[in-house]
Chain A
């Protein structure tokens, strides 16, 4: 194992423990009431997580995209109760643009979309025309993400306090690509949580004198869900690895693929999970919706399936049939 692999394993372990100790359904519910999980954020910061994706010489941990995809996966498995992924991307973009990251949560405004927990952000980062822009202060126009019901706030128009040119590897859509990758990775994690909950439920809930998981009809559904869950995890890590190798801009194919597969799977698996849970899963009391509503939210974040699919398809059609297989195997 290399030094980075060691670091990645240690960080993953720490993130897992932090979220297991500090975040559960109660945190997710509190989030939706606008209660900021201060202790959780403080510990994440103490671990150096928000700046982990920035290079070491700029105060980060020098993690790669593949590493943070693994972290976001864990974050998603716990419902991503803090805007850590967004903060990591924002800090990395600032560092890439030669701007010193600020302490405190950083907001990420992707293509003008609302900023998760923007009201708590020390500054909001955006990308425009190949430059990264920093607007100090929180996003003051408070709102809620429609389906996850988490805080999502808009930035009031203002003059950026700082601006830096992004290297070519990041490209003019670095915010969108990184945001799509983040969404795909946390969808992968949340899908795992939903599958676990559903398998547990199927093994516990009895009807006709036996656990419903013993019925073939239920087994078929869950097996199908497991295929989707595994596919998203593979697509997301593949995209992270590609971003490390070819830069964000160069990994557009893999990131788009991951977002398409993740979005499709989010719909399919959420539907199966609710079908197996039946009425109890439709209640506010049960935790299933805390994850399925986030899945439905995240699949729309940074471009739904059709948006990315069109881009993939358009590029392939332009390249033509003869290039299809060589392109697919070139990476």
Chain B
């Protein structure tokens, strides 16, 4: 049978119990957030906020206590994530570490790496960047050319990474690098390895790239004979592609893939009472939000069961990205300068721009749909 099935999941009472505390905390912290901060949300970077979140035990929630984690369930973590996103909290400084770098280190890192990095991610102290894309390797990621050569005691990196969100503010990145030439062009997934790279290493130049909103959101990173000790290889040498693919499943699985624009709906709703066409539009958006939430919860439940729901996550990300891109466009039709409050209009304008990145980052829409098509049995 074609297609994918999602099993409904219930949020257990102990996870629901977290909401009240989160809402109190976020209402307080949120007083200071401008429409711009909320529009960037999980792409925004605020170390002070992340430290506060860490202090409350909301980073690395599911990790073992031995590494500073909370040994909570994936659904408890899910509640924390969705509450943060629903108000557009600036979670970017800890988001990547919590979502993918930490889990990768936990799963495949050495004991030394776990002890070194995980507790500092949990406290909100260490910020991580994703070192995947390169100037000539985007969707065709395995064609990447930045290489790590074996030298005594470690590796020497040369090449360039690009579009790394917030790298200029981050402490470490997990970079996917070529450690051996591909045996032939059809086997380019071989010979790749992942490394923990200190963003302040000698030989690294990070050049922020202005995005279309005028923010220094992402970067180009040049590696010029950058030395990385053997101890910072993650997982198995040559196994980088499989590892990075599993990491991408985490990257695609979260509620940020459908919730990014929801703060706009919340902010706009009261003003839309004056708009005769609003009920139908709002109703359609709500029907989709509720459904996407159940799909996203199903994926979280699979993660909780120890599965790697790569295909389900790709499907939810694709549908969710559509949703968060359509939302600001649709609401725009119902807003009216003069009647609609300026800060709502501002958020709408900003989200229209930010939303273009949703169907690009973490795998383009076309690549995701290719993955889904293969799952359907199309070749």
Contact = CB atoms under 8 A, between A and B. Distances in A.
A253 B372 CA distance: 30
B284 A254 contact: no
B169 interface: no
Contacts of A176: none
9 contacts: A218-B378, A224-B369, A226-B315, A227-B319, A230-B5, A311-B279, A312-B284, A313-B284, A320-B270
Contacts of A218: 378
Given A199-B378, A313-B282, A324-B265, A226 B287 contact: no
A306 B4 contact: no
Contact of B8 (A211, A220, A237, A317): A237
Contact of A223 (B19, B293, B370): B370
Interface in B277-320: 278-284, 286-295, 298, 315, 318-319
Given A214-B378, A226-B3, A313 B370 contact: no
B66 interface: no
A195 interface: yes
A223 B3 contact: no
A317 B278 contact: yes
A264 B284 CA distance: 9
A234 B8 contact: yes
Most buried by B among A223, A305, A306, A317: A223
Can you list the 3 inter-chain pairs with the closest CB atoms, starting with the nearest?
A: A309-B283, A313-B283, A313-B279
Contacts of B82: 329
B378 A329 contact: no
B369 A312 contact: no
A27 interface: no
A5 interface: no
A309 B289 CA distance: 12
Interface in A261-315: 261, 264, 305-306, 308-314
Contacts of A222: 373, 376, 378
A255 to B, nearest CB: 10
Contact of A192 (B2, B270, B288, B369): B2
B339 interface: no
Given A192-B2, A222-B373, A313-B278, A257 B290 contact: yes
A157 B267 CA distance: 50
Contacts of B371: 223
Nearest to A321: B269
A208 interface: no
A14 B272 CA distance: 49
B2 A230 contact: no
A199 to B, nearest CB: 5
Contact of A329 (B19, B298, B318, B369): B19
Contacts of B121: none
Nearest to B292: A231
B6 interface: yes
Nearest to B371: A223
B77 to A, nearest CB: 15
A253 to B, nearest CB: 7
Given A192-B1, A214-B379, A320 B269 contact: yes
Contacts of B75: none
Interface of A: 192, 195-196, 199, 202-203, 211, 213-214, 216, 218-220, 222-224, 226-231, 233-235, 237-238, 241, 253-254, 256-258, 260-261, 264, 305-306, 308-314, 316-317, 320-322, 324-326, 328-329
A196 B291 CA distance: 22
Most buried by A among B265, B293, B372: B372
B125 to A, nearest CB: 30
Please tell me the size bucket of the interface on B.
Answer: 35 or more
Interface in B57-99: 82, 86-87
Given A218-B378, A223-B370, A234-B8, A314 B279 contact: yes
Contact of B283 (A203, A216, A316): A316
Contact of A234 (B262, B266, B284, B295): B295
Nearest to A194: B2
Contacts of B375: 226
Most buried by A among B6, B283, B289, B292: B283
Contacts of B136: none
A321 to B, nearest CB: 4
Contacts of B372: 223, 226-227
A157 B379 CA distance: 57
A156 to B, nearest CB: 36
Contacts of B294: 234-235, 238
B287 A309 contact: yes
Most buried by B among A220, A222, A313, A314: A313
B376 A261 contact: no
B379 A203 contact: yes
A230 B283 contact: no
A213 B379 contact: yes
A231 B8 CA distance: 12
B3 A321 contact: no
Nearest to B373: A219
Contacts of B270: 320-321
B48 interface: no
Nearest to B275: A317
B377 A203 contact: yes
Nearest to B377: A199
B186 interface: no
A179 B221 CA distance: 58
Given A317-B278, A329-B82, 5 more contacts: A196-B2, A227-B315, A227-B322, A260-B288, A261-B288
B369 A223 contact: yes
Interface in B122-175: none
Nearest to B315: A227
Nearest to A312: B283
Interface in B241-255: none
B366 interface: yes
Contacts of B2: 192, 195-196, 199, 226, 229
